[in-house]
Amino acid sequence: MAFHELWIMWPIAVIIELCFVEKWAVALTMKRFNPQETSPQIFQMTICTMIVCLMCPIMSFIATLLFQNAGNQVIALWLQAMFVNFPMTLGWQLFFGGTAVRKLEKICIYQSF
For the stretch 74-101, pLDDT in tens is 999 999 999 999 999 999 998 998 888 8
Domain parsing of the chain, residue ranges: 2-112
Q: Are 86 and 56 in contact (CB under 8 A)?
A: yes
Q: What pTM did the predictor assign?
A: 0.82
- Cα distance between residue 30 and residue 37, in whole Å: 11
CB atoms within 10 A of CB 56: 20
Would you call 85 helix, strand, or coil by DSSP?
Answer: helix
Res 109: pLDDT: 80
For the stretch 10-48, pLDDT in tens is 999 999 999 999 999 999 999 999 888 989 889 989 999
Res 112: pLDDT: 61
